[in-house]
């Protein structure tokens, strides 16, 4: 279970996250939607401590960290409980696909090499890229790279995988294979927190959709409710705009 | 102009070859220490570790700002004068110390530039899986920076091999020192020094070939 309590992030005078409270149950798939620049990515990055939250508490599993008193040790422990999938894949350029997946097991979890590679091979099979085990990121398509990046996140055995717009920098032809893998993970009830503009993914896969604007949670609920019957005018406005360019979703209201 | 004494030159080759290993040792050991020191300096500079960062800046400034020969004389003649315990420093040790610090100062800057050039997303990905700063430097950033820094580092190594010839001023009989002695005995200066020059040249050429090979190998991960 993940619990955020009054989580805030300020950049100078700008308030990017404004006292966010959020609880995610084990196995829950939560999708965050909202206009650009409203703190969605920052929220994910704060959970992984890629940004230091200004104040608030983050609890993941048995671990609870107060942002104001977070030590180096706390931060490392929190990062090890959470896995991150980046918009630009961010695979280690000097490592092959299998090495990218095994890296965390070898270095952070100190597994013996054979065991780590065996696990990495299982994950490669699962993401359907066995034949790319020894390929370097530069020789893979965007879709393949992002699937390996998801494999790297799976290897962590983390409580939650955080997806930061995982399909936004992909060519359209690769989007489906990445979404397909995410759906597969969702079917296994891997806890996921996903920031995306893929409304069809939100509608089909999410247990809960959260609409964020101005660093606050404006509205949340099951996808059917958010998409068919949004209550807040800001949610309505956002959905109207995004659905105009995204015909995959049946029109609401 | 007298004709070149080719026979003398050929006879000199095996004589001088006996001193080549010492030249290569000076450069090899100097390079290993210089690389270690330069990596430490570069990491200190990139992470802006307080105090160490300022000390490193002064160190680099001094060793880049003064001639290598002056530094060698400081280590060999100067230090024992200040600290009598250091009279045990012989010419070889002083040369290695001088080469190490002089070239570490230069190499630190090119390694630092290469580290800074590694994409920020690589660091973030390493942090996100819970690596410590040390682990991400060692496993992700430095290997990628190496590829960028390699051509300049090899240039410094080549420079260092030639700079070992200054050791003869500290009484070390390496390739240059030996040539000097041979020439003084035979008065055939041109012949002696041209043989030495060709030997340095061949060593450097071999290194250039090695550099090409290494570059191709390190680029393997980045080609489509």
Rounded to two decimals, the ipTM of the complex is 0.90
Q: Given the DSSP bridges, would you call strands A14-24 and A2-11 parallel, antiparallel or unpaired?
A: antiparallel
A75: Cβ contacts below 8 Å, ≥ 6 apart: A49, A65
What average pLDDT does this structure show over A230-240?
93
DSSP B172: -
User: Tens digit of pLDDT for each residue in B140-164?
Assistant: 998 999 889 999 999 999 999 999 9
Rg (CA), chain B: 21
Task: List, as one string, the DSSP characters of chain A.
Answer: -EEEEEEEEEETTEEEEEEEEEEE-TT-EEEEE--TTSSHHHHHHHHTTSS--SEEEEEETTEEEEGGG--HHHHHHHHHHEEEE-TT----TTS-HHHHHHHHHHHTS---HHHHHHHHHHHHHHTT-GGGTT--GGGS-HHHHHHHHHHHHHHTT-SEEEEESTTTTS-HHHHHHHHHHHHHHHHTT--EEEE-S-HHHHHHH-SEEEEEETTEEEEEE-HHHHHHS--SHHHHHHHHHHHHT-TTSPPP-
Res. B85 pLDDT band, cuts 50 70 90: confident
Q: Cα–Cα distances in Å, from B58 out to B40, B55, B213?
A: 15, 5, 36
Task: Identify whether the C-beta of residue A195 lies closer than 8 Å to the C-beta of residue A41.
Answer: yes
Enter the tokens of residue A11. Answer: 């950049």
Contact with chain A for residue B15, Cβ under 8 A: no
Question: Is B145 in contact with B111 (CB distance < 8 Å)?
Answer: yes
Classify residue B138 by its DSSP letter. Answer: I
pLDDT grade for A58, boundaries at 50, 70 and 90:
very high
**Would you call A108 an interface residue with chain B, using a CB distance cutoff of 8 Å?**
yes
Q: Looking at chain B from residue 140 to 159, which residues have their Cβ under 8 Å from any Cβ of chain A? A: 140, 143-144, 147
Q: Quick one: which of A98, A104, A101 has its CA closest to A132?
A: A98
pTM of the predicted model as reported, rounded to 2 decimal places: 0.82
Question: pLDDT digits over B90-138, tens only?
Answer: 999 999 999 999 999 999 999 999 999 999 999 999 999 999 988 999 9
Block residue for tokens 């020191």: B37
The rounded percent of chain B whose pLDDT value lies above 90 is 79
Q: How many CA atoms lie within 13 A of B96 on its CB side?
A: 15
Evaluate whether A177 touches A147 at the Cβ level (below 8 Å). yes
pLDDT category of residue B2 using cuts at 50, 70 and 90: low
User: Per-residue confidence at A16, pLDDT binned at 50, 70, 90?
Assistant: very high
C-alpha distances in angstroms, A229 versus A209, A220, A222, A235? Answer: 12, 11, 10, 10
Q: Residue A131, exposed/middle/buried by CB under 10 A (0-12, 13-18, 19+)? A: exposed
- Chain B touched by A136 (CB under 8 Å): yes
pLDDT greater than 90 at residue B194: yes
- Chain A contact present for B132, CB below 8 A: yes
Q: Which residues from B are below 8 Å from A116, CB to CB?
A: none
Number of other residues whose CB lies within 10 A of the CB of residue A189: 12
In this structure, are residues B36 and B107 in contact, taking their beta carbons and an 8 Å threshold? no
Local confidence band at A253 (pLDDT 50, 70, 90 cut-offs): very low
- What would the CATH number be for the domain defined by B21-172? 1.10.3720.10
Closest CA of chain B from A6, distance in Å: 23
How crowded is residue B137: how many other Cβ atoms within 10 Å of its Cβ? Answer: 22
pLDDT over threshold 60, residue A213: yes
Which of the four pLDDT bands, split at 50, 70 and 90, describes residue A252? very low
pLDDT band at A180 (very low <50, low <70, confident <90, very high): very high
Q: Where exactly are the structural domains of chain B? A: 21-172
| Cβ contacts of A84 within 8 Å, gap of 6 or more | A44, A48, A50, A153, A161, A162, A164, B125, B128, B129
> Is residue B1 predicted with pLDDT exceeding 70?
no
Query: Would you state the pLDDT for residue A249?
Result: 56
Query: What is the nearest CA distance from B41 to chain A, expressed in angstroms?
Result: 23
Give B87 or A238, the one with higher predicted confidence: A238
CB < 8 Å to B140, chain A: 92, 94
The answer to whether A211 touches A34, Cβ cutoff 8 Å, is yes
Angle at A128 between CA A122 and CA A132, to 5 degrees: 85
């Amino acid at each position: 279970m993940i619990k955020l309590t009054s989580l805030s992030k300020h950049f100078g005078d700008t308030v990017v996250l404004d006292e966010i409270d959020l609880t995610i149950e084990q196995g829950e798939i939560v999708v965050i939607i909202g206009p650009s620049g409203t703190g969605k990515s920052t929220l994910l990055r704060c959970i992984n401590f890629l940004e230091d939250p200004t104040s608030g508490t983050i609890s993941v599993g048995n671990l609870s960290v107060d942002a104001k008193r977070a030590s180096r040790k706390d931060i490392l422990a929190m990062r090890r409980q959470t896995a991150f999938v980046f918009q630009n894949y961010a695979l280690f350029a000097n490592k092959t696909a299998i090495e990218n997946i095994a890296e965390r097991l070898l270095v952070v979890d100190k597994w013996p090499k054979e065991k780590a590679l065996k696990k990495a091979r299982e994950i490669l099979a699962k993401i359907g890229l066995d034949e790319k085990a020894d390929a370097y990121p530069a020789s893979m398509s965007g879709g393949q790279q992002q699937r390996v990046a998801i494999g790297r996140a799976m290897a962590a055995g983390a409580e939650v995988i955080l997806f930061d717009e995982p399909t936004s920098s992909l060519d359209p032809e690769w989007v489906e294979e990445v979404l397909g893998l995410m759906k597969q993970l969702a079917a296994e009830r891997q806890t996921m927190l996903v920031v995306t503009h893929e409304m069809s993914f939100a509608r089909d896969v999410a247990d809960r959709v959260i609409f964020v604007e101005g660093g606050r949670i404006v509205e949340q609920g099951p996808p059917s409710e958010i998409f068919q019957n949004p209550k807040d005018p800001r949610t309505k406005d956002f959905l109207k705009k995004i659905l105009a360019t995204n015909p995959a979703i049946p029109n609401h209201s | 102009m007298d004709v070149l004494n080719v026979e003398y030159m050929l006879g000199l080759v095996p004589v001088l070859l006996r001193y080549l290993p010492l030249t290569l040792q000076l450069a090899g050991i100097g390079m290993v220490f210089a690389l270690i020191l330069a990596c430490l300096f570069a990491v200190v500079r990139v992470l802006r570790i307080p105090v160490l960062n300022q000390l490193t800046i002064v160190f680099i400034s001094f060793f880049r700002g003064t001639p290598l020969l002056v530094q060698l004389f400081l280590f060999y003649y100067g230090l024992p004068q200040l600290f009598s315990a250091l009279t045990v420093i012989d010419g070889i040790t002083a040369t290695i110390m001088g080469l190490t610090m002089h070239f570490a100062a230069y190499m630190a800057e090119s390694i630092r530039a290469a580290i800074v050039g590694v994409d920020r997303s690589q660091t973030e990905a390493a942090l996100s899986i819970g690596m410590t700063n040390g682990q991400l430097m060692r496993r992700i950033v430095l290997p990628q920076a190496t590829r960028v820094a390699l051509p300049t580092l090899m240039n410094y190594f080549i420079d260092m091999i030639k700079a070992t010839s200054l050791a003869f001023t500290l009484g070390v009989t390496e390739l240059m020192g030996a040539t000097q002695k041979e020439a003084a005995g035979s008065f055939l200066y041109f012949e002696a020094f041209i043989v030495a020059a060709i030997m340095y040249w061949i060593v450097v050429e071999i290194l250039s070939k090695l550099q090409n090979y290494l570059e191709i190998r390190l680029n393997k991960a980045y080609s489509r």
